[in-house]
């Protein structure tokens, strides 16, 4: 995931079903400069992790059953 953060034009990221994506990856997701949407359905990201990501990147669309838009 950290290597993908080096792609400055990346706007959409689908991480569906990757259990290794959890709250520890929030810091990496924050570093994607142009990311507009991240789909984290069926990952290990918790509501606290989603809240932390949204606090840092309020414009980011987070697709997850627990994410409020």
Q: What angle do CA 52, 8, 46 make, to 5 degrees?
A: 20
Query: What's the pTM?
Result: 0.86
Whether the per-residue pLDDT at 69 is higher than 60: the answer is no
What is residue 8's predicted lDDT score, i.e. its pLDDT?
Answer: 83
Express each pLDDT in 15-43 by its tens digit.
Answer: 999 999 999 999 999 989 899 999 999 99
Q: Cα(62)–Cα(69) distance, rounded to whole angstroms?
A: 8
**In sequence order, what DSSP letters do the residues of 1-53 get, joined into one string?**
-TTGGG-TT--EEE-TT-TT-SGGGHHHHHT-TT--EEE-TTSS--HHHHHHH
């Amino acid at each position: 995931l950290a290597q993908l953060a080096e792609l400055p034009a990346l706007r959409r990221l689908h991480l569906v079903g990757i259990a290794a994506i959890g709250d520890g990856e929030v810091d990496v997701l924050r570093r994607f400069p142009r990311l507009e949407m991240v789909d984290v359905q069926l990952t290990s990201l918790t509501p606290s992790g989603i809240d932390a990501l949204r606090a840092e990147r309020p414009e980011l669309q987070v697709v997850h059953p627990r994410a409020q838009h």
